[in-house]
Amino acid sequence: GGGGLLSGVVEGLKRNGWQDVPVLAVETQGAGSLHAAAQAGHTVELQRIASVATSLGAKRVAEQAMECLRTHPVESHLVSDREALQACERFLLDHRLLVEPACGAALALAYNAQALANYKQVMVVVCGGATATLEQIQAWLAACPE
């Protein structure tokens, strides 16, 4: 949401001498404060959070996240709520682990082979599951436009 996970990952990469390793930051449309900031070149405030991925719901990213965008190879990506929710369901089937839609955003990109075609090795940070049940994810998915 506010760029804390991004900032921590970038700091960890730098501490280990991996300044050249790109980070793909993924948000849902409607919660894309980092994406908006990346496009503007400075922090911007979203009018509202319009996504089921409420834990991504920072209206404005931290300045530290902007510093990461300026000093590290970071690619900002957006996925739909539907893509994030479908990834949550798929990850549950694949790994028997339920994650929330914010994590589903990253997984949506990970499940998209074309999006990762330029990379030899990929690591996905999988976290979060406390804000959604399977029933909630299925209800959100049923309400999402195609």
- Residue 122: pLDDT band with limits 50, 70, 90: very high
pTM (whole model) above 0.85:
yes
- Print the SS3 string covering the chain: CCCHHHHHHHHHHHHCCCCCCCEEEEEECCCCHHHHHHHHCCCCCCCCCCCCCHHHCCCCCCHHHHHHHHHCCEEEEEECHHHHHHHHHHHHHHHCCCCCHHHHHHHHHHCCHHHHCCCCCCCCCCCCCCCCCHHHHHHHHHHCCC
Residue 31 near residue 82, CB atoms below 8 Å: no
- The whole-chain average pLDDT of the chain stands at 93
- 1 - beta bridge partners? none
Chain segment 6-16, per-residue pLDDT in tens: 999 999 999 99
Q: Which domains does the chain have, with CATH numbers?
A: 4-143 (3.40.50.1100)
What integer pLDDT is reported at residue 95 of this predicted model? 95
pLDDT-based confidence at 146, cuts 50/70/90? confident
Residue 118 predicted with pLDDT over 80: yes
The least confident of 14-28, 43-57, 102-116 is 43-57
Residues 14 and 22: beta-carbon distance below 8 Å: no
Give the model's pLDDT for residue 68. Answer: 96
